[in-house]
């Protein structure tokens, strides 16, 4: 399908499927901000509530040529910022006025923090009974460890995920990305929107509790079930415990990943490497046999790859319908023509007038296309605008009641 065919029914001027939804972002670091970033990308009006003179998210390094942090610029795109201190009585009152006109509040402070400031779920529910209030935390709003603070790597460790990552002979290794934060942010966005759908159907708001530990366990491919029933998975590095070959192999000028999951593909690979007899040979012909003969299979595939240029090996493997991909650097990946065609990096004007390629929305909508509409705001940049809109809404409501 061509891009223009996919978007041929797009609505002119649409900012996304969540246009008209109002979200208050009371978050920090990554998990909560990512949840609201997903909503903002999809067209919601996300107002970030933060200290006007704060520096949340200004994590080094800066994006070259901009003087601005990659961290903040990436996860706070498409949002507005209102400078409010929830510990201050006046600012807290303003925040609760904003809540009265919002659909969703997202926060990821340590459980009990916003309650202590008079800005938690019950305080928000008091001004809007049907509010959807999403809380993201390390261990959830209840449970014996709910009081503990959390960082992403600590959650990877506590949830057992880190024990599975790395080479068999090496130590546990954390994911190089904010994996637990990312998953919690995505689940928070899904949970918040599901609760909003329920609210729109029944008129009932609710508190949505998102635990980073829960999210990492739920997104561990069902492996927690094996662990709970006495068959814990082992650390296998780049391999799996149900497909052989499935590994990274060195070519003459780089590495490729190859996975052969079905017997028909194994027979094709046997022909490619010049050993067609292995296609049905004892010890190789079936998946269980290859699993039991892992070292020999890996040695044969590695030997074929070793002397070949990466591009040549991939052309042959992909030409026969096998699943093989080059192991690229991130720099190489973002330069790929397919990534460009999918608009996954979008040139964006930032708050200081500089321009940078900001990561774009992952989900594509044929009727309501999405994009990076604006760069991350400076803290408090939109306070006057947001509060003016609030005053205008109150005036409209007063006139409506008077009539």
pLDDT digits (tens, 9 = 90+) for 311-360: 999 999 999 999 999 999 999 999 999 999 999 999 999 999 999 999 99
Distances (CA, A) of 300 to 34, 270, 293, 316, 400: 44, 10, 11, 16, 78
Q: What is the DSSP letter of 62?
A: B
Question: Which residues have C-beta within 8 Å of that of residue 53, sequence separation ≥ 6?
Answer: 83, 379, 380
pLDDT digits (tens, 9 = 90+) for 183-210: 999 999 999 999 999 999 999 999 999 9
pLDDT of residue 393: 72
CA angle 117, 26, 207 (to 5 degrees): 80
CA angle 51, 25, 393 (to 5 degrees): 95
Q: How far apart are CA 272 and CA 266, in angstroms?
A: 10
pLDDT of residue 390: 84
pLDDT of residue 250: 98
**403: pLDDT strictly greater than 60:** no
SS (H, E, C) 293-314: CHHHHHHHHHHHHHCCCHHHHH
Greatest pairwise CA separation for the chain in angstroms: 88
pLDDT average, residue stretch 105-128: 98
My answer on whether omega of the bond before 199 falls inside 30° of 0, hence cis, is no
pLDDT digits (tens, 9 = 90+) for 51-93: 999 898 899 999 999 999 999 999 999 999 999 999 999 999 9
Q: What is the mean pLDDT of the chain?
A: 95
Give the pair of three-digit tokens for residue 257.
């990943």
3-class SS of residue 177: coil
Which of the residue ranges 254-263, 301-310, 392-401 would you say has the lowest mean pLDDT? 392-401
């Amino acid at each position: 399908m061509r891009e223009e065919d996919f978007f041929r029914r797009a609505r002119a001027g649409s900012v996304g499927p969540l246009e008209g939804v109002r979200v208050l972002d009371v978050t920090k670091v990554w998990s909560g901000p990512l949840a609201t970033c997903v909503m903002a990308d999809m067209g919601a009006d996300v107002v970030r509530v933060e200290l006007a003179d704060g520096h949340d998210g200004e994590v080094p390094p800066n994006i070259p040529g901009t003087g601005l942090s990659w961290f903040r610029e990436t996860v706070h795109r498409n949002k507005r910022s209102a400078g409010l201190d929830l510990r201050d009585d006046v600012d807290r009152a303003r925040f609760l006025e904003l809540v009265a006109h919002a659909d969703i509040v997202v926060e990821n402070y340590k459980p009990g923090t916003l309650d202590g400031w008079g800005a938690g779920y019950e305080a928000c529910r008091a001004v809007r009974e049907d509010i959807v209030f999403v809380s993201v935390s390390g261990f959830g709003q209840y449970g014996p460890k709910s009081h503990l603070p959390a960082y992403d790597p600590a959650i990877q460790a506590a949830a057992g995920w880190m024990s599975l990552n790395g080479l068999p002979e090496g130590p546990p290794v954390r994911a190089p990305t904010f994996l637990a934060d990312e998953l919690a942010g995505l689940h928070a966005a899904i949970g918040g929107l599901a609760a909003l759908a329920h609210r729109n159907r029944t008129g009932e708001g609710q508190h949505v509790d998102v635990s980073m530990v829960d999210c990492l366990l739920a997104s561990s491919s069902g492996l927690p079930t094996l662990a709970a029933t006495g068959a814990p998975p082992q650390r296998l590095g780049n391999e799996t415990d149900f497909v052989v070959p499935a590994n990274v192999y060195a070519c003459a000028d780089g590495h490729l990943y190859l996975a052969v999951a079905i017997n028909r593909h194994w027979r094709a690979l046997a022909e490619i490497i010049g050993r067609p007899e292995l296609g049905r040979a004892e010890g190789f012909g079936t998946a269980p046999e290859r699993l039991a003969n892992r070292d020999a299979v890996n040695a044969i595939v590695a030997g074929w790859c070793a002397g070949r240029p990466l591009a040549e090996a991939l052309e042959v493997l992909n030409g026969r319908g096998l699943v093989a991909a080059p192991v690229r650097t991130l720099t190489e990946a973002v330069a790929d023509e397919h990534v460009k065609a999918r608009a996954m990096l979008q040139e964006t004007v930032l708050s200081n007038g500089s321009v940078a390629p900001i990561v774009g929305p992952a989900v594509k909508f044929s009727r309501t296309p999405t994009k990076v509409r604006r760069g991350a705001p400076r803290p408090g940049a939109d306070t006057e605008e947001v509060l003016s809109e609030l005053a205008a809404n109150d005036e409209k409501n007063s006139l409506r009641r008077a009539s």
